[in-house]
A and B are shown apart, each in its own frame.
Chain A
Amino acid sequence: MKANLTGVGWVNTAGAGWGRQGPFRAGGDGPLPKLSRKDVSPGSFPRFGRMDSYSRLGVSAISLALKDAGLDEWTDPREIAIIASTVYGCLKTDEDYCDTVIPEGGRLASPHLFVYALTSTFLGEAAIHFGLSGPSFALSESVLSGLPGVSMAMRGIGKGEYDSALAGVCDAGAPPALAGIGRSVPGALFFVLQNENSSRRPSYGTLTQNGSGTLFYDGKEVEDLNTLASICTASIT
């Protein structure tokens, strides 16, 4: 399996950015930058302010990755897949929603919060705003990696199920009571992977996958997605 890496976008505690803007810097634990509609889209995006923080995080990183790959503007829907890995997903939103259900025996249950009580809702938001009509789903992990999701995207491209895919990670952090269950660093990081014929911009490099599923970037084994982002954006000045 083989795919070109043509875009990378991220939001983490070190800031928000995209590959051709400057080198990736990994984040750590701590507060994420406050995101506004303007970080995501130059045009109208009325739903952005209504989203929960997990969805805003994911949609923002997807937006930056698409911008980096020259795919942020569109007229007709594109068959681009999205595979997002997460540990805690929307659990903070779940907590907020629960707190609208409990006090009055359900009378105050918030339909607005409930819509965002799925790990995959933000993928639908991204699909609508950016015209992405390929497969989309979330992969839940106990320790955040994202590599299996990238492998699945590579397989889909390799088998011709779609020409392009966004694959990466999105986590807004753990609810306090679950901090010891699972492991992730808050932030979102997405890559745009494309087959040879689909790229609008020059590729950063080539991802390949061997028979046992191990990923290689320009021939070197990929250890984790942060390292991949660092390597592919290192030459950007």
Chain B
Amino acid sequence: MESGAVPLREVWITDACAITAAGDSLEATWQKVISGTTAIGEIDRFPTQAYRSTVAATIRGLEAVGPGSLVSTILDRLLGQLNGAPTDALVIAATTKAGIDNLEKMRRGLAFDPGDILPSSIGEKVAAKLGLRGGVMTIGAACASSTIAVAQGAAMISSGSVESVLICCADAMTEFLFSGFSALQALSGVACKPFDKDRSGLSPGEGGAFLLLMSSTRARQKGHMPLCIVKGFGIADDAFHVTAPDPKGLGLLRAASNAIALAGIEKGDIAGISAHGTGTIQNDLMELTAFHTLFDGDCPPLYSVKGCIGHTFGAAGGIEVALGTKTLLEQTIPPTVGFVNPERGAEGLVGSKPVSMAGDYLLTTNSGFGGINAAIILKRPGSY
């Protein structure tokens, strides 16, 4: 280290929650993921006759309150499980479409709350509801939105800009998103099958997560223990295509390599990968290519949770980091629900049953439209 250089501060995740179609809490979602069963089922929220699929992972009983959006209900359920946050916490929200269901209502001439439509409304609602005064940001980067929110939050804490960050991400399964992916011919007709050679597309989902990040110093002062440590992150763009990933996976490769370098670990220290694993032909092939290149023939086991909870869009990364804390704590690589016949390159890496994990580091990644890729390295906490 240079003389006078200040070492990066350790970033702890001290609280986490996820709400998905698989469960109304992180524990319930984890148990469903581990069970190897899917929460993807027939949609009863809107007519689906015109679309290429009739299935998605919707949260049972999720309803908008009055003219509010579904996202507001998800946020209310999430924040009800937060065990407090420092009043000086910065809120970093992430979403792809916020209350887009209310824009749909507006165009249909139905009653709607315009305050739910702007993406910035997510973070502002969280800060107002919790009385947080550390500022608000809302990040949009397609399906890597909340992964980047975690990366930016960790970057700001580790550099000393802030002491704590509340990451809050949410997206709802709306006709807007469902029709769009149907029009792009990206939907699977049945529950999606990540990394399976017979996969045919993604299954939309919905949900949200919060992650409370703190500097280790602040956390110790407040008596918090780490669920997990954010050791590294990387973000890179393919600069290749707006909707299709780079077949060589070069963007994901750079994002993951940068994350490993920042974490100060060796590739061999990674004991598992929480992949994006959407179930589209191109995404899953790209990921397998990138991971095989990155690990040079010695790839650790990898999994996707989207066969269970669907693709939760901008919330995917946050939910997967929350579930990643469970993966490390339980030392269990979850099954990839829907996976039966391995795509070439997935043999022996992806499984349909939970398997033991032996190690302290998990790589979790997401990729999205615009060619954006983001990677996070999580570390299992030691003794504190």
Contacts and interface: CB of A to CB of B under 8 A. Distances in A.
Contacts of B137: 139, 148
Contacts of B181: 114
Given A95-B107, A98-B104, A137-B140, A106 B120 contact: no
B139 A139 contact: yes
B103 A101 contact: no
Interface string A130-156: 011111111111100000100010011
A177 interface: yes
A77 B140 contact: no
Contacts of B176: 94, 97-98, 101, 117
Nearest to A105: B50
A114 B371 contact: no
A38 B369 CA distance: 26
Given A106-B175, A106-B182, A121-B369, A133 B237 contact: yes
Given A133-B238, A142-B124, A115 B118 contact: no
A212 B239 CA distance: 34
A190 interface: no
A94 B140 CA distance: 15
A110 interface: yes
Contacts of B108: 102
A106 to B, nearest CB: 4
B295 interface: no
Contacts of B372: 120, 123-124, 135-137
B118 A140 contact: yes
B240 A128 contact: yes
Main secondary structure of the interface of B (DSSP, over half): mixed
A135 B237 contact: yes
Given A121-B242, A135-B236, A178 B139 contact: no
Interface stretch (A8-16, A83-91, A223-231): A83-91
B182, B238, B239: which has the most chain A beta carbons within 10 Å? Answer: B239
Interface in B255-313: 258
Interface in A70-123: 77, 79, 87-89, 91, 94-95, 97-99, 101-102, 104-107, 109-111, 114-115, 117-121, 123
A127 B370 contact: yes
Interface residues of A, number: 59
A30 to B, nearest CB: 22
A114 B239 contact: no
A28 interface: no
A106 B159 CA distance: 47
A234 interface: no
Contacts of B140: 89, 118-120, 137-140
B111 interface: no
Interface string B136-147: 011111101100
B188 interface: no
Given A94-B103, A109-B180, A133-B254, A127 B237 contact: yes
19 contacts: A94-B176, A101-B176, A105-B50, A106-B179, A109-B183, A111-B180, A111-B185, A118-B140, A120-B372, A135-B374, A137-B140, A137-B235, A139-B140, A141-B120, A142-B120, A142-B124, A148-B135, A152-B152, A213-B161
